[in-house]
Chains A and B, each alone.
Chain A
Amino acid sequence: MSEAPRRFERPAPLSFALWVLAAAAVIASLQGIGFSASGFFSGLPNMGRMLGEMFPPSLERTGPVGKALLETFQMALVGTIAGVALSLPLAVLATRHLSPHITVYHAARGLIALFRTVPDLVWALFFVVAVGLGPFAGTLAIMVDIIGFCGRFFAEAMEEADRGPQEALNALGAGRGAVIAAAVIPAAMPSLINTSLFSLEKATRSSVVLGLVGAGGIGIELQVSMDLFRYAEASAIIFAIFILVVGVEQCSAWLRRRLI
């Protein structure tokens, strides 16, 4: 009878060394973050007490919280729409076969990469300095973050759009703009809609956090409540955020089904 292959190959010395290194890195990281199981368990009663104080949620500040929630949603909505609108032309420049020149292509790609890799909280800090505290700074931060996100996915969708119809319009003498508007964008539309709706969801979640750096929205309310140990108030705010995020997600799922 011929022999079956061994259950495990003997690892090559190099890959064995790499495994050891990776394990060492994980252990060093656990040490680095001050991981302590006892700390976690001794913290549990604290957490329990806090949860206890959170219920029932306090409805005392419904008015201001509702207003902050509305502002959060408005930031997300305006930031997303502005971001999507600016992403479209940028994505065209960042699509290889549609870009007017290779340097323009690389510049557009670079700009999108910059917008994407710098976190939205950093953009918010930057815009707070530039335009002052408040929701406008947060909206600008969301817009830039969305351009980084949508720019990349829009460009990919346009890159993947079927070249046949584009060739047909080229062949009958249509200009670049007409080919983009009449062939590329219609073909990429499902992907564009999907990405835009997803960015609205993403923007809603991030607009909650932006308040922490003073860029408007409900985040500041949550931070103040937590700092003042008003956990019942905080839980009401968290619950409101939950409703907003789930609501936006449901609406966008419904729109997605309708539009695509």
Chain B
Amino acid sequence: MSAIEPAVAAPADLQIRGLAKRFGGNVEVLSNVGLAVGKGEAVALIGANGAGKSTLLRSCLRLIEPDDGEIRLLGEDVRALKPAALRRLRARVGFVFQRHNLVPRLPVLSNVLHGALARGAGPRAWFHELAPRALREEAMSCLERVGLAALAARRADQLSGGQSQRVAIARALMQRPELMFADEPVASLDPAAGEEVMACFLELIRRERLTLVFTTHDLRHALDYGDRVVGLRGGRVTIDAAAATLDLPSLRSFYE
């Protein structure tokens, strides 16, 4: 009788093999990184500053061009994609940034609408004033899901840090994403706001059954919200284990 494979239950949404990136000629930020993320899985990426966490996330969407290796994301061979196909793939992936990256002088609603640019919504998604009713309503419902519908008309640069990151999450939801990347989503927030935003974010991720890869410096977040924890050190994967098998002291020792 053949052994039953203890394999990943669902096909992998993200599969990385032998990924390498060098900056400025010779500084190796990522070297021979391998990683597989199953559908619906939440993976926490940890590692010291400069370990290559952000570079890894950005490489998956070619916001940074990797030098070597293979990336399969949602069934696409990322490095082989032509510009138009790459844009279509990016559209299917939400990306939440540490600095939120809202357009500061535009109202919240316009910022959320920008998520629809992913779906080729065209110039009418540049500003909420121009958008068709269906898009505006969808954007409002995305804002409701992060609890900020009341602030739709406010300018993005007049929000608190926590509010601003929630709007960025709403923008990502507006993409109707199949997978979500988050690069230290709450590192710029005070601890209370950070907990609140993280809880709201993960609640949405779970409800939508989205695959998630997030980087964090908060080891408790990694254990609480990650199904798996992947540790990077000097551009290499040195931990890859189920969160249930890890605890805080063992993760802390990883930084030493």
A: which residues have CB within 8 A of B?
162, 164-165, 167-175, 177-178, 181-183, 186-187, 189-190
Contact = CB atoms under 8 A, between A and B. Distances in A.
Interface of B: 61, 63, 86-91, 93-95, 97, 99-106, 110, 114-115, 117-118, 123, 125-127, 168, 171-172, 175
Given A181-B126, A182-B127, A172 B115 contact: yes
B97 A167 contact: yes
Contacts of B94: 172
Contacts of A189: 105
Contacts of A169: 114, 117
Q: Which of B114, B127, B172 has the most chain A CB atoms closer than 10 A to its own CB? A: B114
Contacts, number: 80
Contacts of B117: 169, 172-175, 178, 182
Contacts of B100: 164
A172 B97 contact: no
A204 B101 CA distance: 40
Contacts of A170: 63, 90
Interface of A is mostly: helix
A172 B63 contact: no
A170 B90 CA distance: 8
Nearest to B104: A187
A70 B172 CA distance: 52
B155 to A, nearest CB: 10
B106 A186 contact: yes
B210 to A, nearest CB: 15
A183 B103 contact: yes
A241 to B, nearest CB: 37
A45 B172 CA distance: 77
Contact of B95 (A165, A172, A183, A186): A172
Given A167-B63, A172-B175, A174-B118, A187 B89 contact: no
B103 A172 contact: no
Contacts of B172: 172
B114 A174 contact: yes
Given A172-B94, A181-B126, 18 more contacts: A164-B99, A165-B102, A165-B103, A167-B63, A170-B63, A172-B118, A172-B172, A173-B89, A173-B118, A174-B117, A177-B123, A178-B125, A182-B103, A182-B126, A182-B127, A186-B104, A186-B105, A186-B106
Contact of B101 (A167, A175, A186, A190): A167
